[in-house]
Structure 1
Amino acid sequence: MPGLDKEAKREIRNRKKWFQRSDVSRHIAKIGDADYRFVRYLKPLGDMPIALLAIREDGYLPDYEVAKEVVYRVSYYNNIMRFAARDKLGMKEIVKRPIKLMERLEKSIKRYFGSDIHQSHELYKELSLILHLSEVMQQNQVTFNDMFKEICSIAKEQDRDLILTENRFNRVYDIFLDWHTLLFQEQKMQLLVHPYWPVAMRYVKDDKKAKELYKMLKIFYTEKRKNTLENFLEGVVDKQYGDISSLSYSPEHLKRFRALKEREGTEGFKLEVAPKILNP
Protein backbone atom coordinates (compact mmCIF):
# COMPACT_ATOMS: atom_id res chain seq x y z
CA MET A 1 0.00 0.00 0.00
CA PRO A 2 2.48 2.64 -1.15
CA GLY A 3 2.06 6.20 0.14
CA LEU A 4 -0.25 5.26 3.02
CA ASP A 5 0.51 5.88 6.69
CA LYS A 6 0.45 3.04 9.22
CA GLU A 7 -2.92 4.22 10.49
CA ALA A 8 -4.41 4.00 7.01
CA LYS A 9 -2.98 0.53 6.42
CA ARG A 10 -4.32 -0.62 9.80
CA GLU A 11 -7.78 0.79 9.03
CA ILE A 12 -7.85 -1.00 5.68
CA ARG A 13 -6.82 -4.31 7.25
CA ASN A 14 -9.34 -3.99 10.09
CA ARG A 15 -12.23 -3.64 7.65
CA LYS A 16 -11.16 -6.60 5.54
CA LYS A 17 -12.81 -9.97 6.15
CA TRP A 18 -10.45 -12.93 6.43
CA PHE A 19 -11.27 -14.28 2.94
CA GLN A 20 -11.04 -10.95 1.14
CA ARG A 21 -8.23 -9.35 -0.80
CA SER A 22 -7.70 -5.59 -0.62
CA ASP A 23 -6.66 -3.50 -3.60
CA VAL A 24 -5.65 0.16 -3.16
CA SER A 25 -5.94 2.39 -6.21
CA ARG A 26 -2.86 4.10 -7.58
CA HIS A 27 -4.91 7.16 -8.39
CA ILE A 28 -5.66 9.72 -5.73
CA ALA A 29 -8.89 11.73 -5.74
CA LYS A 30 -8.40 15.32 -4.63
CA ILE A 31 -11.59 16.48 -2.92
CA GLY A 32 -11.21 20.03 -1.64
CA ASP A 33 -7.76 20.24 -0.07
CA ALA A 34 -7.58 16.55 0.87
CA ASP A 35 -6.27 13.52 -1.04
CA TYR A 36 -8.14 10.22 -0.82
CA ARG A 37 -7.45 6.65 -1.93
CA PHE A 38 -10.04 4.20 -3.18
CA VAL A 39 -9.89 0.66 -1.70
CA ARG A 40 -11.61 -2.39 -3.17
CA TYR A 41 -12.27 -5.53 -1.10
CA LEU A 42 -12.32 -8.50 -3.46
CA LYS A 43 -13.18 -12.18 -3.38
CA PRO A 44 -10.24 -14.64 -3.41
CA LEU A 45 -10.76 -15.01 -7.17
CA GLY A 46 -12.06 -12.50 -9.66
CA ASP A 47 -12.11 -8.75 -9.92
CA MET A 48 -15.63 -7.93 -8.71
CA PRO A 49 -15.54 -5.86 -5.49
CA ILE A 50 -17.56 -6.96 -2.48
CA ALA A 51 -17.04 -3.70 -0.60
CA LEU A 52 -15.43 -0.31 -1.18
CA LEU A 53 -13.73 2.25 1.02
CA ALA A 54 -12.44 5.81 0.65
CA ILE A 55 -9.62 6.74 2.99
CA ARG A 56 -7.22 9.62 3.46
CA GLU A 57 -3.54 8.75 3.42
CA ASP A 58 -3.27 9.45 7.17
CA GLY A 59 -6.08 6.96 7.93
CA TYR A 60 -8.96 9.40 8.26
CA LEU A 61 -12.25 8.11 6.86
CA PRO A 62 -14.36 10.75 5.11
CA ASP A 63 -18.15 10.68 5.45
CA TYR A 64 -20.32 8.74 3.02
CA GLU A 65 -20.98 11.66 0.63
CA VAL A 66 -17.28 12.43 0.18
CA ALA A 67 -16.54 8.71 -0.15
CA LYS A 68 -19.10 8.44 -2.96
CA GLU A 69 -17.32 11.19 -4.89
CA VAL A 70 -13.94 9.49 -4.38
CA VAL A 71 -15.19 6.07 -5.48
CA TYR A 72 -17.18 7.48 -8.41
CA ARG A 73 -14.30 9.55 -9.74
CA VAL A 74 -11.56 6.94 -9.46
CA SER A 75 -13.62 3.93 -10.53
CA TYR A 76 -15.14 5.75 -13.51
CA TYR A 77 -11.73 7.08 -14.56
CA ASN A 78 -10.31 3.54 -14.51
CA ASN A 79 -13.26 2.21 -16.53
CA ILE A 80 -12.91 4.93 -19.16
CA MET A 81 -9.18 4.30 -19.52
CA ARG A 82 -9.79 0.57 -19.93
CA PHE A 83 -12.36 1.41 -22.62
CA ALA A 84 -9.84 3.70 -24.32
CA ALA A 85 -7.16 0.99 -24.37
CA ARG A 86 -9.37 -1.80 -25.75
CA ASP A 87 -8.65 -3.00 -29.26
CA LYS A 88 -12.08 -4.65 -29.46
CA LEU A 89 -15.11 -2.35 -29.15
CA GLY A 90 -12.98 0.40 -27.62
CA MET A 91 -11.41 3.66 -28.68
CA LYS A 92 -8.40 1.95 -30.24
CA GLU A 93 -10.65 0.01 -32.60
CA ILE A 94 -12.32 3.18 -33.87
CA VAL A 95 -9.13 5.13 -34.50
CA LYS A 96 -7.75 2.18 -36.48
CA ARG A 97 -10.82 1.61 -38.64
CA PRO A 98 -10.35 1.84 -42.44
CA ILE A 99 -12.09 5.19 -42.90
CA LYS A 100 -10.39 5.56 -46.31
CA LEU A 101 -13.09 3.21 -47.60
CA MET A 102 -15.66 5.97 -47.10
CA GLU A 103 -13.48 8.41 -49.00
CA ARG A 104 -13.08 5.92 -51.87
CA LEU A 105 -16.82 5.27 -51.89
CA GLU A 106 -17.60 8.98 -52.05
CA LYS A 107 -15.19 9.54 -54.95
CA SER A 108 -16.53 6.52 -56.80
CA ILE A 109 -20.15 7.70 -56.48
CA LYS A 110 -19.31 11.22 -57.66
CA ARG A 111 -17.22 9.88 -60.52
CA TYR A 112 -20.13 7.79 -61.79
CA PHE A 113 -23.15 9.97 -60.97
CA GLY A 114 -21.47 13.37 -61.03
CA SER A 115 -20.50 15.65 -58.17
CA ASP A 116 -23.89 17.38 -58.13
CA ILE A 117 -26.75 14.85 -58.15
CA HIS A 118 -29.99 16.55 -59.16
CA GLN A 119 -33.16 16.16 -57.13
CA SER A 120 -34.89 14.71 -60.16
CA HIS A 121 -32.55 11.70 -60.19
CA GLU A 122 -34.38 8.50 -59.22
CA LEU A 123 -31.70 7.66 -56.65
CA TYR A 124 -31.40 11.19 -55.28
CA LYS A 125 -32.63 10.27 -51.76
CA GLU A 126 -30.50 7.14 -51.51
CA LEU A 127 -27.31 8.67 -52.87
CA SER A 128 -27.73 11.88 -50.86
CA LEU A 129 -27.97 9.91 -47.61
CA ILE A 130 -25.03 7.67 -48.51
CA LEU A 131 -22.87 10.70 -49.32
CA HIS A 132 -24.00 12.44 -46.15
CA LEU A 133 -23.05 9.35 -44.12
CA SER A 134 -19.63 9.31 -45.77
CA GLU A 135 -19.10 12.99 -44.96
CA VAL A 136 -20.18 12.58 -41.33
CA MET A 137 -18.00 9.52 -40.73
CA GLN A 138 -14.93 11.20 -42.24
CA GLN A 139 -15.48 14.32 -40.13
CA ASN A 140 -16.09 12.21 -37.02
CA GLN A 141 -12.91 10.25 -37.61
CA VAL A 142 -10.87 13.44 -37.29
CA THR A 143 -12.67 14.16 -34.01
CA PHE A 144 -12.18 10.58 -32.78
CA ASN A 145 -8.46 10.79 -33.46
CA ASP A 146 -8.19 14.12 -31.64
CA MET A 147 -10.16 12.82 -28.65
CA PHE A 148 -8.06 9.67 -28.44
CA LYS A 149 -4.84 11.71 -28.52
CA GLU A 150 -6.19 13.89 -25.71
CA ILE A 151 -7.21 10.87 -23.64
CA CYS A 152 -3.69 9.43 -24.06
CA SER A 153 -2.15 12.76 -23.06
CA ILE A 154 -4.33 12.98 -19.96
CA ALA A 155 -3.49 9.38 -19.05
CA LYS A 156 0.24 10.17 -19.21
CA GLU A 157 -0.19 13.20 -16.97
CA GLN A 158 -2.34 11.21 -14.55
CA ASP A 159 0.12 8.32 -14.38
CA ARG A 160 2.89 10.83 -13.67
CA ASP A 161 1.29 12.75 -10.76
CA LEU A 162 -1.57 10.34 -9.81
CA ILE A 163 -3.74 13.24 -8.57
CA LEU A 164 -7.19 12.92 -10.14
CA THR A 165 -8.61 16.41 -9.86
CA GLU A 166 -12.23 17.28 -10.55
CA ASN A 167 -11.29 19.20 -13.70
CA ARG A 168 -9.19 16.36 -15.10
CA PHE A 169 -11.88 13.80 -14.40
CA ASN A 170 -14.62 15.99 -15.90
CA ARG A 171 -12.63 16.37 -19.11
CA VAL A 172 -12.13 12.61 -19.44
CA TYR A 173 -15.83 12.03 -18.71
CA ASP A 174 -16.89 14.62 -21.33
CA ILE A 175 -14.72 12.92 -23.95
CA PHE A 176 -16.29 9.57 -23.04
CA LEU A 177 -19.83 10.94 -23.46
CA ASP A 178 -19.01 12.82 -26.68
CA TRP A 179 -17.36 9.70 -28.10
CA HIS A 180 -20.46 7.57 -27.57
CA THR A 181 -22.71 10.32 -28.92
CA LEU A 182 -20.77 10.49 -32.19
CA LEU A 183 -20.80 6.68 -32.45
CA PHE A 184 -24.55 6.66 -31.88
CA GLN A 185 -24.97 9.25 -34.64
CA GLU A 186 -22.98 7.12 -37.08
CA GLN A 187 -24.61 3.81 -36.21
CA LYS A 188 -28.08 5.29 -36.48
CA MET A 189 -27.25 6.77 -39.88
CA GLN A 190 -25.70 3.52 -41.11
CA LEU A 191 -28.76 1.53 -40.08
CA LEU A 192 -31.01 4.00 -41.91
CA VAL A 193 -28.84 3.77 -45.04
CA HIS A 194 -28.59 -0.04 -44.94
CA PRO A 195 -31.66 -0.73 -47.20
CA TYR A 196 -30.32 1.74 -49.78
CA TRP A 197 -27.13 -0.16 -50.62
CA PRO A 198 -28.89 -2.86 -52.72
CA VAL A 199 -30.98 -0.20 -54.48
CA ALA A 200 -27.79 1.52 -55.67
CA MET A 201 -26.17 -1.85 -56.46
CA ARG A 202 -29.04 -2.88 -58.73
CA TYR A 203 -28.83 0.45 -60.55
CA VAL A 204 -25.13 0.07 -61.49
CA LYS A 205 -24.79 -3.73 -61.57
CA ASP A 206 -24.86 -4.20 -65.36
CA ASP A 207 -22.74 -1.16 -66.23
CA LYS A 208 -19.12 -2.08 -66.94
CA LYS A 209 -18.07 1.45 -66.06
CA ALA A 210 -19.41 0.93 -62.52
CA LYS A 211 -17.46 -2.20 -61.57
CA GLU A 212 -15.43 -0.42 -58.90
CA LEU A 213 -18.52 1.33 -57.51
CA TYR A 214 -20.47 -1.93 -57.40
CA LYS A 215 -17.70 -3.62 -55.43
CA MET A 216 -17.56 -0.70 -53.00
CA LEU A 217 -21.32 -0.77 -52.42
CA LYS A 218 -21.19 -4.53 -51.86
CA ILE A 219 -18.65 -4.11 -49.05
CA PHE A 220 -21.17 -2.14 -46.98
CA TYR A 221 -24.19 -4.33 -47.60
CA THR A 222 -23.71 -7.39 -45.39
CA GLU A 223 -25.85 -9.03 -42.74
CA LYS A 224 -22.88 -9.04 -40.38
CA ARG A 225 -22.58 -5.27 -40.67
CA LYS A 226 -26.30 -4.82 -39.99
CA ASN A 227 -26.12 -7.11 -36.93
CA THR A 228 -23.17 -5.14 -35.57
CA LEU A 229 -25.12 -1.88 -35.89
CA GLU A 230 -28.21 -3.35 -34.22
CA ASN A 231 -26.18 -4.87 -31.38
CA PHE A 232 -24.49 -1.54 -30.68
CA LEU A 233 -27.80 0.33 -30.57
CA GLU A 234 -29.31 -2.42 -28.42
CA GLY A 235 -26.62 -2.21 -25.75
CA VAL A 236 -25.18 1.31 -25.83
CA VAL A 237 -27.60 2.48 -23.09
CA ASP A 238 -29.12 0.05 -20.59
CA LYS A 239 -32.89 0.12 -21.08
CA GLN A 240 -33.58 0.62 -17.39
CA TYR A 241 -31.97 4.07 -17.66
CA GLY A 242 -33.60 5.18 -20.91
CA ASP A 243 -35.07 4.03 -24.21
CA ILE A 244 -33.10 5.27 -27.23
CA SER A 245 -35.03 3.26 -29.84
CA SER A 246 -37.08 6.28 -30.96
CA LEU A 247 -34.12 8.65 -31.19
CA SER A 248 -32.78 9.77 -34.55
CA TYR A 249 -29.43 11.37 -35.34
CA SER A 250 -30.84 14.92 -35.29
CA PRO A 251 -28.94 17.44 -33.12
CA GLU A 252 -31.81 17.54 -30.63
CA HIS A 253 -31.94 13.76 -30.32
CA LEU A 254 -28.16 13.52 -29.99
CA LYS A 255 -28.40 15.82 -26.96
CA ARG A 256 -31.06 13.55 -25.51
CA PHE A 257 -28.89 10.50 -26.15
CA ARG A 258 -25.93 12.12 -24.39
CA ALA A 259 -28.12 12.95 -21.40
CA LEU A 260 -29.36 9.35 -21.21
CA LYS A 261 -25.81 8.01 -21.44
CA GLU A 262 -24.81 10.30 -18.58
CA ARG A 263 -27.87 9.20 -16.60
CA GLU A 264 -26.87 5.56 -17.10
CA GLY A 265 -23.50 6.29 -15.49
CA THR A 266 -24.74 8.31 -12.51
CA GLU A 267 -27.81 6.21 -11.68
CA GLY A 268 -25.99 2.95 -12.36
CA PHE A 269 -23.37 4.03 -9.83
CA LYS A 270 -26.04 4.84 -7.22
CA LEU A 271 -27.77 1.49 -7.67
CA GLU A 272 -24.86 -0.89 -8.20
CA VAL A 273 -21.74 0.65 -6.66
CA ALA A 274 -22.65 3.16 -3.93
CA PRO A 275 -24.35 0.51 -1.67
CA LYS A 276 -20.98 -1.27 -1.36
CA ILE A 277 -19.23 1.75 0.22
CA LEU A 278 -18.28 1.13 3.85
CA ASN A 279 -17.72 4.75 4.91
CA PRO A 280 -20.16 5.90 7.62
Structure 2
Amino acid sequence: MPRKVKSAYKAKKAWNERVEVSPFLINYQGKLYYYIMLSPIIGQLKGAMVIDKDGGVPLLEEAKPIIFRMNGYNNMINFANKEMKETLKIPVGMMKRIEKQVLKVYPNITDDHELYHEINLLISMCRTIYQNHEKLVSLFKEIAAISQRVQKRNKVLDEESFSRLFDIFTEWHFLLFIEKRIQLDNYVQLPKIIENVNSKSNGKNLTRLLRNLHIEKRKEVLEEYLDGVIEPSIGNAKTLPYTAEGIEKFKEMKSAEAFIMFETNIVPKIRN
Protein backbone atom coordinates (compact mmCIF):
# COMPACT_ATOMS: atom_id res chain seq x y z
CA MET A 1 0.00 0.00 0.00
CA PRO A 2 1.36 3.48 -0.88
CA ARG A 3 2.78 5.43 2.06
CA LYS A 4 0.45 8.37 1.26
CA VAL A 5 -2.57 6.10 1.78
CA LYS A 6 -1.27 4.91 5.14
CA SER A 7 -0.66 8.49 6.24
CA ALA A 8 -4.20 9.46 5.22
CA TYR A 9 -5.98 6.85 7.32
CA LYS A 10 -3.60 7.19 10.27
CA ALA A 11 -4.66 10.82 10.54
CA LYS A 12 -8.27 9.67 11.06
CA LYS A 13 -7.84 6.70 13.40
CA ALA A 14 -7.67 6.57 17.19
CA TRP A 15 -4.54 5.11 18.75
CA ASN A 16 -6.38 2.03 20.02
CA GLU A 17 -8.19 1.15 16.80
CA ARG A 18 -7.20 -1.68 14.53
CA VAL A 19 -7.13 -1.17 10.77
CA GLU A 20 -8.45 -3.56 8.15
CA VAL A 21 -7.91 -2.81 4.48
CA SER A 22 -10.11 -4.45 1.85
CA PRO A 23 -8.07 -6.95 -0.22
CA PHE A 24 -9.52 -5.46 -3.41
CA LEU A 25 -9.96 -1.92 -4.71
CA ILE A 26 -13.08 -0.08 -5.82
CA ASN A 27 -13.26 1.37 -9.32
CA TYR A 28 -15.66 4.32 -9.24
CA GLN A 29 -15.96 6.72 -12.17
CA GLY A 30 -12.59 5.62 -13.51
CA LYS A 31 -10.65 6.07 -10.28
CA LEU A 32 -9.35 3.40 -7.88
CA TYR A 33 -9.94 3.57 -4.12
CA TYR A 34 -8.84 1.68 -1.04
CA TYR A 35 -11.54 0.82 1.49
CA ILE A 36 -10.43 1.15 5.10
CA MET A 37 -12.29 -0.21 8.14
CA LEU A 38 -11.52 0.97 11.66
CA SER A 39 -12.56 -1.04 14.70
CA PRO A 40 -11.76 -1.27 18.40
CA ILE A 41 -9.46 -4.11 19.44
CA ILE A 42 -12.61 -6.04 20.40
CA GLY A 43 -15.89 -5.05 18.82
CA GLN A 44 -17.66 -4.17 15.60
CA LEU A 45 -16.93 -1.63 12.87
CA LYS A 46 -16.52 1.85 14.32
CA GLY A 47 -15.30 3.81 11.31
CA ALA A 48 -14.93 3.52 7.55
CA MET A 49 -13.28 5.59 4.86
CA VAL A 50 -12.07 5.49 1.27
CA ILE A 51 -8.76 6.85 0.02
CA ASP A 52 -7.68 7.04 -3.60
CA LYS A 53 -4.49 5.36 -4.78
CA ASP A 54 -2.61 8.65 -4.60
CA GLY A 55 -3.54 9.24 -0.97
CA GLY A 56 -6.36 11.68 -1.69
CA VAL A 57 -9.26 11.67 0.77
CA PRO A 58 -12.58 12.50 -0.92
CA LEU A 59 -15.13 14.55 0.99
CA LEU A 60 -18.10 12.82 2.63
CA GLU A 61 -20.58 13.30 -0.23
CA GLU A 62 -18.00 12.04 -2.71
CA ALA A 63 -17.11 9.08 -0.50
CA LYS A 64 -20.68 7.93 0.18
CA PRO A 65 -21.44 6.32 -3.23
CA ILE A 66 -18.07 4.55 -3.17
CA ILE A 67 -18.58 3.15 0.32
CA PHE A 68 -22.19 2.29 -0.55
CA ARG A 69 -20.90 -0.03 -3.27
CA MET A 70 -18.29 -1.69 -1.09
CA ASN A 71 -20.65 -2.09 1.86
CA GLY A 72 -23.40 -3.38 -0.43
CA TYR A 73 -21.04 -5.83 -2.09
CA ASN A 74 -19.89 -7.23 1.27
CA ASN A 75 -23.48 -7.55 2.52
CA MET A 76 -24.63 -9.35 -0.63
CA ILE A 77 -21.70 -11.79 -0.61
CA ASN A 78 -22.31 -12.53 3.07
CA PHE A 79 -26.01 -13.06 2.31
CA ALA A 80 -25.09 -15.47 -0.48
CA ASN A 81 -22.77 -17.47 1.78
CA LYS A 82 -25.42 -17.85 4.47
CA GLU A 83 -29.09 -17.32 3.59
CA MET A 84 -28.80 -18.22 -0.09
CA LYS A 85 -26.98 -21.47 0.63
CA GLU A 86 -29.59 -22.41 3.22
CA THR A 87 -32.43 -21.68 0.79
CA LEU A 88 -30.91 -23.91 -1.87
CA LYS A 89 -30.79 -26.81 0.60
CA ILE A 90 -34.60 -26.86 0.82
CA PRO A 91 -35.79 -29.86 -1.26
CA VAL A 92 -38.31 -29.20 -4.02
CA GLY A 93 -38.98 -32.82 -5.01
CA MET A 94 -42.17 -32.83 -2.92
CA MET A 95 -43.68 -30.20 -5.25
CA LYS A 96 -43.15 -32.46 -8.24
CA ARG A 97 -44.78 -35.35 -6.38
CA ILE A 98 -47.78 -33.20 -5.47
CA GLU A 99 -48.16 -32.02 -9.06
CA LYS A 100 -48.02 -35.62 -10.29
CA GLN A 101 -50.70 -36.71 -7.81
CA VAL A 102 -52.93 -33.70 -8.60
CA LEU A 103 -52.83 -34.53 -12.31
CA LYS A 104 -53.61 -38.15 -11.46
CA VAL A 105 -56.68 -37.26 -9.37
CA TYR A 106 -57.80 -34.38 -11.62
CA PRO A 107 -56.52 -35.34 -15.11
CA ASN A 108 -58.98 -33.30 -17.17
CA ILE A 109 -60.30 -30.58 -14.88
CA THR A 110 -62.38 -27.94 -16.72
CA ASP A 111 -63.43 -24.42 -15.78
CA ASP A 112 -66.87 -25.60 -14.73
CA HIS A 113 -65.41 -27.74 -11.93
CA GLU A 114 -66.17 -26.41 -8.45
CA LEU A 115 -62.45 -26.33 -7.56
CA TYR A 116 -61.08 -25.29 -10.94
CA HIS A 117 -59.29 -22.16 -9.65
CA GLU A 118 -58.09 -23.83 -6.44
CA ILE A 119 -56.60 -26.82 -8.27
CA ASN A 120 -54.91 -24.61 -10.84
CA LEU A 121 -53.47 -22.46 -8.05
CA LEU A 122 -52.10 -25.62 -6.41
CA ILE A 123 -50.45 -26.75 -9.65
CA SER A 124 -49.12 -23.25 -10.25
CA MET A 125 -47.61 -23.22 -6.75
CA CYS A 126 -45.80 -26.51 -7.34
CA ARG A 127 -44.38 -25.38 -10.67
CA THR A 128 -43.38 -21.98 -9.33
CA ILE A 129 -41.38 -23.55 -6.52
CA TYR A 130 -39.44 -26.16 -8.49
CA GLN A 131 -38.89 -23.88 -11.48
CA ASN A 132 -37.76 -21.10 -9.13
CA HIS A 133 -35.23 -23.45 -7.60
CA GLU A 134 -33.53 -23.89 -10.97
CA LYS A 135 -33.37 -20.10 -11.39
CA LEU A 136 -32.05 -19.62 -7.85
CA VAL A 137 -29.27 -22.14 -8.43
CA SER A 138 -28.30 -20.28 -11.61
CA LEU A 139 -28.28 -16.92 -9.80
CA PHE A 140 -26.14 -18.33 -6.99
CA LYS A 141 -23.59 -19.65 -9.48
CA GLU A 142 -23.42 -16.23 -11.13
CA ILE A 143 -22.80 -14.58 -7.75
CA ALA A 144 -19.98 -17.06 -7.12
CA ALA A 145 -18.45 -16.16 -10.50
CA ILE A 146 -18.61 -12.42 -9.72
CA SER A 147 -17.04 -13.00 -6.30
CA GLN A 148 -14.25 -15.04 -7.87
CA ARG A 149 -13.56 -12.31 -10.41
CA VAL A 150 -13.55 -9.48 -7.87
CA GLN A 151 -11.73 -11.15 -5.00
CA LYS A 152 -9.38 -13.60 -6.69
CA ARG A 153 -8.74 -12.50 -10.26
CA ASN A 154 -9.17 -8.77 -10.96
CA LYS A 155 -8.93 -7.59 -7.32
CA VAL A 156 -11.22 -4.69 -8.25
CA LEU A 157 -14.91 -4.09 -7.59
CA ASP A 158 -16.05 -2.36 -10.77
CA GLU A 159 -19.40 -0.73 -11.47
CA GLU A 160 -20.55 -3.50 -13.82
CA SER A 161 -19.96 -6.20 -11.19
CA PHE A 162 -21.74 -4.25 -8.46
CA SER A 163 -24.74 -3.40 -10.66
CA ARG A 164 -25.15 -6.99 -11.80
CA LEU A 165 -24.81 -8.27 -8.25
CA PHE A 166 -27.52 -5.89 -7.07
CA ASP A 167 -29.81 -7.02 -9.92
CA ILE A 168 -29.24 -10.66 -8.93
CA PHE A 169 -29.87 -9.86 -5.26
CA THR A 170 -33.15 -8.13 -6.12
CA GLU A 171 -34.28 -10.88 -8.51
CA TRP A 172 -33.54 -13.51 -5.85
CA HIS A 173 -35.78 -11.74 -3.34
CA PHE A 174 -38.52 -11.21 -5.89
CA LEU A 175 -38.56 -14.88 -6.91
CA LEU A 176 -38.89 -15.93 -3.27
CA PHE A 177 -41.47 -13.20 -2.67
CA ILE A 178 -43.68 -14.57 -5.48
CA GLU A 179 -43.10 -18.11 -4.24
CA LYS A 180 -44.10 -17.31 -0.65
CA ARG A 181 -47.15 -15.33 -1.74
CA ILE A 182 -48.54 -18.12 -3.87
CA GLN A 183 -47.87 -20.61 -1.06
CA LEU A 184 -49.84 -18.45 1.37
CA ASP A 185 -52.68 -18.02 -1.13
CA ASN A 186 -52.73 -21.77 -1.61
CA TYR A 187 -52.67 -22.42 2.15
CA VAL A 188 -56.07 -20.75 2.48
CA GLN A 189 -57.55 -23.01 -0.22
CA LEU A 190 -56.11 -26.32 0.97
CA PRO A 191 -58.98 -27.41 3.31
CA LYS A 192 -61.48 -27.28 0.42
CA ILE A 193 -59.14 -29.25 -1.83
CA ILE A 194 -58.41 -31.87 0.85
CA GLU A 195 -62.13 -32.36 1.50
CA ASN A 196 -62.75 -32.90 -2.21
CA VAL A 197 -59.76 -35.22 -2.63
CA ASN A 198 -61.02 -37.39 0.25
CA SER A 199 -64.04 -38.25 -1.86
CA LYS A 200 -61.82 -39.68 -4.61
CA SER A 201 -60.86 -43.35 -4.61
CA ASN A 202 -57.37 -42.51 -5.90
CA GLY A 203 -56.75 -39.52 -3.64
CA LYS A 204 -55.09 -41.12 -0.60
CA ASN A 205 -51.51 -40.15 -1.51
CA LEU A 206 -52.51 -36.62 -2.48
CA THR A 207 -54.41 -36.12 0.79
CA ARG A 208 -51.33 -37.10 2.78
CA LEU A 209 -49.10 -34.70 0.82
CA LEU A 210 -51.53 -31.80 1.12
CA ARG A 211 -51.98 -32.27 4.86
CA ASN A 212 -48.22 -31.90 5.21
CA LEU A 213 -48.57 -28.47 3.62
CA HIS A 214 -51.43 -27.31 5.82
CA ILE A 215 -49.52 -26.75 9.06
CA GLU A 216 -50.00 -23.60 11.14
CA LYS A 217 -46.26 -23.16 11.71
CA ARG A 218 -45.72 -23.13 7.96
CA LYS A 219 -48.29 -20.38 7.58
CA GLU A 220 -46.53 -18.32 10.28
CA VAL A 221 -43.18 -18.66 8.50
CA LEU A 222 -44.71 -17.53 5.20
CA GLU A 223 -46.38 -14.52 6.81
CA GLU A 224 -43.20 -13.56 8.63
CA TYR A 225 -41.23 -13.65 5.39
CA LEU A 226 -43.74 -11.55 3.48
CA ASP A 227 -43.96 -9.00 6.31
CA GLY A 228 -40.17 -8.60 6.32
CA VAL A 229 -39.22 -8.83 2.64
CA ILE A 230 -39.39 -5.02 2.43
CA GLU A 231 -38.97 -2.67 5.38
CA PRO A 232 -42.54 -1.58 6.31
CA SER A 233 -41.52 2.09 6.23
CA ILE A 234 -40.73 1.68 2.50
CA GLY A 235 -44.05 0.10 1.51
CA ASN A 236 -46.18 -3.02 1.52
CA ALA A 237 -44.83 -5.54 -0.98
CA LYS A 238 -47.85 -7.81 -0.46
CA THR A 239 -49.98 -5.42 -2.52
CA LEU A 240 -47.76 -5.70 -5.61
CA PRO A 241 -49.23 -7.51 -8.66
CA TYR A 242 -47.59 -10.47 -10.40
CA THR A 243 -46.72 -8.30 -13.43
CA ALA A 244 -43.75 -6.55 -15.02
CA GLU A 245 -44.88 -3.38 -13.26
CA GLY A 246 -44.91 -5.26 -9.96
CA ILE A 247 -41.35 -6.43 -10.53
CA GLU A 248 -40.14 -2.91 -11.28
CA LYS A 249 -41.89 -1.51 -8.22
CA PHE A 250 -40.33 -4.25 -6.07
CA LYS A 251 -36.88 -3.32 -7.42
CA GLU A 252 -37.50 0.34 -6.61
CA MET A 253 -38.55 -0.55 -3.06
CA LYS A 254 -35.51 -2.80 -2.51
CA SER A 255 -33.21 -0.07 -3.81
CA ALA A 256 -34.81 2.55 -1.54
CA GLU A 257 -34.51 0.16 1.41
CA ALA A 258 -30.78 -0.35 0.73
CA PHE A 259 -30.11 3.41 0.61
CA ILE A 260 -32.04 4.09 3.81
CA MET A 261 -30.23 1.32 5.70
CA PHE A 262 -26.91 2.65 4.41
CA GLU A 263 -27.68 6.21 5.47
CA THR A 264 -28.83 5.02 8.88
CA ASN A 265 -26.19 2.43 9.74
CA ILE A 266 -23.03 3.27 7.77
CA VAL A 267 -22.95 6.99 6.93
CA PRO A 268 -22.54 8.04 10.59
CA LYS A 269 -19.34 5.94 10.71
CA ILE A 270 -17.71 7.44 7.59
CA ARG A 271 -14.65 9.50 8.44
CA ASN A 272 -13.96 11.11 5.08
TM-score by length of structure 1 reads 0.90
- 1:131 maps to 123
Kindly state the Cα deviation for residue 267 of structure 1 after the two structures are TM-superposed: 2.6
Partner of 1:52: 48
**2:210 corresponds to 1:222:** no
- Gaps (5+ residues) in structure 2? none
The alignment partner of 1:9 has SS state of helix
Q: Which is further off, 65-74 or 101-110?
A: 65-74
AA at the equivalent of 2:145: S
Kept in 2, the 8 Å contact 1:185–1:254? The answer is no
The whole-number CA distance in structure 2 between the counterparts of 1:63 and 1:159 is: 27
Aligned to 1:143: 135
- 1:201 equivalent to 2:194? Answer yes
Alignment check: 8 A CA contact 1:28 1:164 kept: yes
Count of matched residue positions in the alignment of Structure 1 and Structure 2: 271
1:183 to 173, 176, 185: 176
- Contact 2:237–2:250 (8 Å) recurs in 1: yes
Aligned to 2:62: 66
Per-residue displacement from partner, 1:211-239 (whole Å, max 9, x unpaired)?
21111111211112111111111111111
> Any idea what SS the aligned residue of 1:194 has?
helix
User: For 1:92 and 1:106, how far apart are their aligned partners in 2?
Assistant: 26
Quote the offset at 1:76 in angstroms. 0.5
Q: Which moved more, 1:17-26 or 1:180-189?
A: 17-26
Post-superposition shift, 1:206?
A: 5.4
Distance in structure 2 (CA, Å) of the matches to 1:255 and 1:185: 14
SS in 2 for 1:209: coil
Q: Counterpart of 2:237 in 1: which secondary structure?
A: coil
Q: CA deviation at 1:154?
A: 1.1
SS at match of 2:26: strand
Indicate conservation of the 8 Å contact 2:105/2:200, yes or no. Answer: no
2:14 pairs, out of 14, 17, 25, with: 17
Give the secondary-structure state (helix, strand or coil) at the position aligned to 2:233: helix
Q: Distance in 1 between matches of 2:57 and 2:159?
A: 20
Q: Which amino acid aligns with 1:52?
A: A
State the superposition RMSD in angstroms: 1.7
- Note if 1:277 corresponds to 2:270: yes
2:210 and 2:74 map into 1 onto residues whose CA distance is 40
Contact kept, 8 Å, 1:28 with 1:74, in 2: the verdict is: no
What letter corresponds to residue 78 of structure 1 in structure 2?
N
Check conservation: 1:95, 1:145, Cα contact below 8 A: yes
SS at match of 1:38: strand
The aligned residue for residue 84 of structure 2 is 91
Alignment-derived partner of residue 32 in structure 1:
29
**Under a length normalisation based on structure 2, what TM-score does the superposition of the two structures give?**
0.93
- 5+ residue gaps, structure 1: none
Shifted more, 22-31 versus 69-78: the winner is: 22-31
Deviation at 1:208, TM superposition (A): 4.9
Distance 1:21 1:143 in 2: 41
Amino acid at match of 1:167: E
Q: 1:41 aligns with which of 38, 42, 55?
A: 38
Give yes or no for the alignment of 1:119 onto 2:111: yes
Aligned-pair identity (%): 31
Amino acid at match of 2:146: I
